[in-house]
Structure 1
Amino acid sequence: MSHNAIRPKLVVSDAAAAIDFYRDVLGAELISSYPVGDRIVFAELEVFGCSVTLKDADDTDPAATAQTPGSILDVVSPDPDAVAAAMADAGAEIIFPIADQPYGARGGRVRDPFGVQWLLQTPVTVSPEEWPEVLERMQAEG
C-alpha cells in the first residue's frame, strides 16, 4: 500500500454504503473502519494504490449536496473508460463523458452516489512548453 503523506478525507452521507461501493466497483481494500453506534467516524481504504479516508457526515463535517459539490479526486488510470462505465453502471453520474482531451490525455468526470467527483484520465502527454498553446486553443474553442 502507498503511504501517501496527504490523504483525501471523504465526508459522505452513508460511509458504510460508500465503502461497499468503492470495494465492489473500484476494487478498493478496506484497511480499517471505526464505527461509533451506527456511524463510521473513520475508515481507511486503499484505492488506485493510494490511501483514502472517509467518514459519515456530522454537524462539523457535512456531506456534499447538489448545491455544495464534494471533493474531486484526480485519478490517473490506464483505462478511464472502463472505470467510468463501471461507476455509471453502479449508479454514478457522468458529468463529463470520457473523451480525448486537447492536452493529450483521455479523460472525463464522474460523480459517485455519495457526491464525490472522480476526474478519471490517462497521463497527460502535453509538455510544459506546449501548455500555453493548448490553453489558448481550449479557451478559443470555448
Structure 2
Amino acid sequence: METATPTFAPQLYIPNGIRDVDFYINGLGAVELRRYSNDDGTIHVSELSINGAIFHLHEETRSRTSFSPLRHQGSTVTIGLFVQNVDAYMTSAVAAGAKVISPAQDYDYGYRQGDVEDPFGHVWMFESRI
C-alpha cells in the first residue's frame, strides 16, 4: 500500500537485553507508540514518534549484518532531525545522557546544527534553517 507522501522510518538497532527507552522520551520528546517485548520483558521492537516522525528500536538478533553501533564503537548513519530549537534539543538530550559530538552552531550554508551520540551509540543531528 502506497502512502501519499513517502516517509522514512529508520530502524535503530540496540543491544539485546534493553528494557527502557527513557532517553528517547525524556531527551528527545518521543512518544512510545507501541512495544513488542520478549518473554523476559526486554525490548524486541519499540515504535516511537517525535512530532510525527516515526522510528523503531530493534534488538540486534534480527540479522547478523544489522547491529547496534556500540558493538563496533561507531555508526554509519547520522539521524538528522529538523527541529525549531536546536539548542533546546541539545540541552534536553545531554540532560538525558547523550554526549555532545559537535556543539550547536550556525553554518554559512544557512543551518544551525549540533550533533549528539545517544546512549546506544546512535548519532543525532539536530538542525534548523536560520
- Partners of 1:77 and 1:122 within 8 A in 2: yes
Q: Which residue of 1 aligns with 2:96?
A: 90
SS at match of 1:113: coil
Shift of the alpha carbon at 1:6? 2.7
Extract structure 1 runs of 4+ deviating beyond 6 A.
none
The structure carrying a bigger strand percent of its residues is 2
Q: Give the Cα separation in 2 of the matches to 1:67 and 1:36.
A: 26
Q: Give the Cα separation in 2 of the matches to 1:8 and 1:86.
A: 21
Q: Which residue of 2 aligns with 1:7?
A: 9
Specify every segment of 5 or more residues in structure 1 that has no aligned partner in the other structure, as ranges. 126-142
TM-score (norm 1): 0.75
Residues 122 and 20 (structure 1 numbering): CA distance in 2 closer, same or farther, change over 3 Å?
same
Q: Give the Cα separation in 2 of the matches to 1:100 and 1:72.
A: 18
- Partners of 1:15 and 1:55 within 8 A in 2: no
RMSD over aligned CA atoms reads 2.1
Larger Rg: 1
Q: Which amino acid aligns with 1:27?
A: G
Q: Which amino acid aligns with 1:40?
A: I
State percent identity of aligned pairs: 28
- What does 1:48-127 align with in structure 2 at a 5 Å threshold? 48-58=51-61, 60=64, 61-65=66-70, 67-69=73-75, 71-123=77-129
Aligned residue pair count: 121
